[in-house]
Structure 1
């Protein structure tokens, strides 16, 4: 798509949607077993080295405050490092314990370019989620180090104490060295071995508790996210309705209205010539008839832009097939891949239809593409519809705030009103990928 005024750099439309656990097919949580014990031992071993690296970055940043640049670089590195560690910890928790922990919502910057990057860093740094992740990482790492170290010390004592007692008992050393009788050494060794095994087996249960405590979203954060999402959806609905009204007014004023005015004038001329020049009147009536048919076609196009009949009658698959066929007839060969095992709520189907229709309109008008592809897939486990429109033409598409440019901006507002997410990936050299993710709860 061309870098026209109605396109904008991709901006995330509000807070991220939290992960919704799925009951079907989810593994049963397990706090004990070989995998949790191995994970704790591995975490303790790696943590004894890793624990100093983030601390060193913090120390370097604090010591570099006078130079500003060093402090900023250290801060950026620390934020990215902790964000990456949070993702690793979530993957590890899921793989080891099988817990489907929800992901707290993450506020996303509405800005673009460098301002968005800097603002996003600030939003992350000032969020509760970030500092809970930092606390989780260090609390769990220190716990694993201590438990693994204690278990290792008990195992060493269990194996060395009897040997030392036997060696002392068989030596000719002074009796003062025989403070640990062999029977007592064996008893303590058995106790130490049992304690070490118990630690390695049962201590991971606290690891699971730490994960559930610090990685899960708090009820307050979830409620705040819902409020923000509803407010954003409401704003999107209001703005989308205004944009749609302006579009209908523009279409009626620019196409149907002039055609009807021309029709009225032609009929008026035919009336004046009906008695004096019947052949001319007949020609004018034929012209008026053609104008009436053209006005009817244009009126149908306007109505189709409001509520396509084929969508309600035959469903999203058939409606998108018609859209794709129009794009192909306009000179851009377009393929369609649809996976919809069932009908979706009307508002979801309408939103998906307009996303595809408007995106393909931009492709045929501005992109200079040789090929386009539309993919529509329903993820039944997450109950979300994924809509993707790809073209291999010119890039540079972005969503703008210009009120006179309503293409991608209007789609963004419409998707937000449906509580979905909308994004555009369009490097200057192309290709362009428009993606909408729509929740399908009825």
Structure 2
């Protein structure tokens, strides 16, 4: 996927996402032309928009017996509130300049339709969703009432003196002169002053409502930390177990048979040293070749545990070696790296293994004609973005068990990235291409 995610700070129901840096203290500018214009425009739009989400909610509740109507109304309502949440946050930042943090959002660990349905359920059951609903209607109602009152006072300020003067100058019965002209002018001045005060100072309460209902609660932030740490711990445990199984498999299926063959060859050579010297020399030469092959396989196993080039020369050089091996294997691969500084060791190791395993999958399974690796450090958010693209066959996905004949190792990569408190995603339509992404926090 080109980037799954939302730019939001989220809690994975099955995978933890990256925590965004703590926002700066809010810098409220609740007074001025922009806040006042925002309140008036919001009131004008709200007088029409007010009924649309409310109508959907009423339709959904009244359609519960028919199920289908309820489901459709609920889905539309959820998507509507999602959009409202984004719009309100953008408006609050643009109008008031407050750096309001984004509350955590749980993401479904499932895939396909199940992920979509589960995500809707997670959203509806979250406090963030209903706080957004409450914020939207509270602020909209407040803007409508304040603006309507201010406009009514302005209308009175301009019309009351004119009406009093007209009645005073008319030949109608004096009983119609219920509002003397001086009193009308006094009330008009008071009404005008109150309207101006409302239009100038009322938006400050809008800013308070935004900060109250849009900000993440301390409890939600604590829940995020607990859930993220628990998920990272589980990912670390699972990743370590998977790594042990991989090392055992590599030693058992690769190095061990080679060493057994080497021992047998040396044993045969020993039996022929006295009786058939040429055959013994041939066996010794074969054993020498087996020893060199075993050494290469053992180096590959060691490289899979802790590549020396990574610690010595950094991520750029290590990835260049991985890309070169992929190119030599028949898949031309390009590398784009933007790393202005060295990263923490665990982050570099995680990024290295993501790229190495992904390119191994490309060379073995994808049938690709080209691949591309992009590694970029977002210094503002302190996040490392890793992307591996190939134009081969698609259909790659994270499954519960990657130990079968069609193993892709994506489950192991997902666990490794989760252990680093990052996010991992795969976008791989059946027709291709495949894009693997990982986002890793780089805090020391």
TM-score for both structures, normalised by structure 1: 0.94
SS, match of residue 179 in structure 1: coil
Q: Deviations over 1:407-436 (max 9, x none)?
A: 100000000000001010111111111010
Residue 86 (structure 2) aligns with: 87
Structure 1 runs of 4+ with >6 Å offset: none
Counterparts of 1:209-224 in structure 2, within 5 Å, are 209-224=208-223
Question: Which residue matches 2:37?
Answer: 38
State how 1:73-112 maps to structure 2 within 5 Å.
73-112=72-111
Rounded Cα–Cα distance in structure 1 between residues aligned with 2:148 and 2:207? 19
Residue 375, structure 1, aligned to residue 367, structure 2: no
> Residues 327 and 364 of structure 1 are in contact (CA less than 8 Å); yes or no, is this contact kept in structure 2?
yes
Residues 402 and 410 in structure 2, CA contact (< 8 A), matched pair in contact too: no
When the two chains are superposed, the root-mean-square deviation of aligned CA atoms in Å is 1.7
Shift of residue 310 of structure 1?
A: 0.4
Is 2:158 the partner of 1:156? no
Which residue of 2 is the match for residue 68 of structure 1? Answer: 67
Name the residue aligned to 1:137. 136
- State the distance in 1 between where 2:96 and 2:258 align: 69
Contact 1:21–1:100 under 8 Å retained in 2: no
In structure 2, distance between residues paired with 1:276 and 1:18 = 73
The separation in 1 between residues aligned to 2:32 and 2:22, in whole angstroms, is: 23
- Of 379, 396, 410, the residue aligned with 2:412 is 410
SS of residue in 2 equivalent to 1:95: helix
Distance apart, 1:15 and its partner CA: 4.9
Secondary structure of the residue aligned to 1:375 is strand
* Residue equivalent to 2:47: 48
Counterpart position of 1:7: none
Retained in 2: the 8 A contact 1:21–1:101?
no
CA distance in 2, matches of 1:51, 1:120: 26
SS of residue in 1 equivalent to 2:425: strand
Please report how far the alpha carbon of residue 316 of structure 1 lies from its aligned counterpart in structure 2 after TM superposition: 0.4
Q: Cα distance, 1:403 vs. partner?
A: 4.9
User: 2:15 is matched with which residue?
Assistant: 14
- Asked whether the 8 Å contact 1:232–1:417 carries over to 2, the reply is yes
Contact 1:385–1:440 (CA<8 Å) still a contact in 2? yes
Matches of 1:210 and 1:279, distance apart in 2: 92
Contact 2:394 2:434 survives alignment (8 Å) = yes
118-127 or 334-343, larger mean C-alpha shift: 118-127
8 Å CA contact 2:361, 2:408 repeated in 1: no
Whole-Å separation in 2 of the counterparts to 1:150 and 1:375: 57
The residue aligned with 1:58 is 57
Equivalent residue of 2:106, what SS? coil
Residue 290 of structure 1: how far off its partner (Å): 1.2
The corresponding residue for 2:7 is: none
Aligned to 2:426: 424
For residues 33 and 327 of structure 1, the distance between their equivalents in structure 2, rounded to whole angstroms, comes to 60
Matched with 1:120 is: 119
Cα distance in structure 2, aligned partners of 1:54 and 1:18: 31
Q: Which runs of 5+ in 1 are unaligned?
A: 2-10
- C-alpha displacement of 1:14: 2.7
For these two proteins, the number of residue pairs brought into alignment is: 431
Match of 1:311 in 2: 310
- Cα distance in 2 for residues equivalent to 1:39 and 1:191: 25
In the aligned structure 1, how far is the partner of 2:418 from the partner of 2:302?
23
Structure-2 residue corresponding to 1:268 = 267
Structure 1 position 280, deviation (Å):
2.0
For the residue of structure 1 that corresponds to 2:323, the secondary structure is helix
- In structure 2, the CA distance between the partners of 1:293 and 1:15, relative to structure 1 (3 Å rule), is closer
Structure 2 stretches lacking a partner, 5+ long: 2-11
Deviations 1:63-118 (A, max 9, x none): 22221211121111111111111111111111111111111111122222222222
Aligned CA distance change for structure 1 residues 343 and 400 (closer, same or farther; 3 Å): same
Greater mean deviation of Cα atoms: 228-237 or 325-334: 325-334
Residue 199 of structure 1 deviates from its aligned partner by 1.0
Please state whether the residue corresponding to 1:239 is helix, strand or coil.
helix
SS in 2 for 1:244: helix
Answer yes or no: is the 8 Å Cα contact 2:17–2:422 preserved in 1.
Answer: no
**Is 1:16–1:106's contact at 8 Å kept on the other side of the alignment?**
no
Instruction: Give the direction of change, closer, same or farther, for the CA distance of 1:19–1:207 in structure 2 (3 Å limit).
Output: farther
Which whole-Å CA distance do the structure 1 matches of 2:22 and 2:170 have between them? 65
- Cα separation, partners in 2 of 1:384 and 1:306, compared to 1, 3 Å: same
In the TM superposition, residue 368 of structure 1 has moved relative to its aligned partner by: 1.3
2:9 match: none
Does structure 2 retain, via aligned residues, the 8 Å contact 1:386–1:436? yes
> 2:331 aligned with 1:337, yes or no?
no
8 A Cα contact 1:310 1:318, kept in partner: yes
Which residue of 1 is the match for residue 436 of structure 2? 434
TM-score (norm 2): 0.94
